Amino acid sequence: MVKKYWAIFFFCFFSQLTYGQVKIEKESRVMSNEVPEIAIKWLEDVFDHKKKLKWYFEESANSCSFEAKFIRKGKKYSVEFSETGFIEDIEVFEHWRKLPHSVRDNISDYMEDLFIKSRIEKIQIQYTGSKEDIQYWVQTDLLNQMVVKYEVEFYGQTENSKKLWEGLFDRDGKVLMKREILLSPSNNLFY
């Protein structure tokens, strides 16, 4: 009987390792006085004319971070900082039709190969680099040494299931990583 339980445990454990990652995150609103001063100062020095600034604390399975969300020049920004306040990346929401054609084609091909049906929920262009490179990009719109990736949340339907996924794609739209998004249960009733 004990061998049976160990076999089930190992099957479940190793199937998670071999078939992909799972994204579990918890995001909660925080006040600016809970955010490291270095993050607040960097954001004030680099970004002008931001509206509706809100701070969040994000916990995932292997890290914690602070995130500033705001609107600038009509676009939604999400700026992520380490727990100690150092810049990690900037994500800007974008519409599917505004992505380069080659990127859209590559992402579409990837999704068509894996799923019977798919539907994109959210696209963010992710910019990473040194804090100086990021600051230069924000102020000039020139990418210089920046690394550009696309973070895409989408529903993918197979013969057996329909799940929410997050895919990370390189600047050409080639997949780098895919993981299932597990939504936390809600205490709210929806009618």
Show the domains of the chain with their CATH numbers. 21-92 (3.10.450), 94-130+142-183 (3.10.450.40)
Average pLDDT rounded to a whole number, residues 169-187: 84
User: What share of the chain in percent tops pLDDT 70?
Assistant: 84
Asked if the model's pLDDT at residue 9 lies above 50, the reply is no
Place 116 in a pLDDT band, splitting at 50, 70 and 90: very high
**What kind and span of H or E run contains 133?**
helix 131-140
- For tokens 């009987």, the residue is 1
Asked if the model's pLDDT at residue 145 lies above 90, the reply is no
Average pLDDT rounded to a whole number, residues 14-40: 76
Q: What is the pTM of this model?
A: 0.81
Burial 49-81 (b: 16+ CB within 10 A, else e): ebeebebbbbeeeeeebbbbbbebeeeebbbbb
pLDDT recorded at residue 185: 58
pLDDT in tens, 121-144: 999 999 999 989 999 999 898 988
Place 190 in a pLDDT band, splitting at 50, 70 and 90: very low
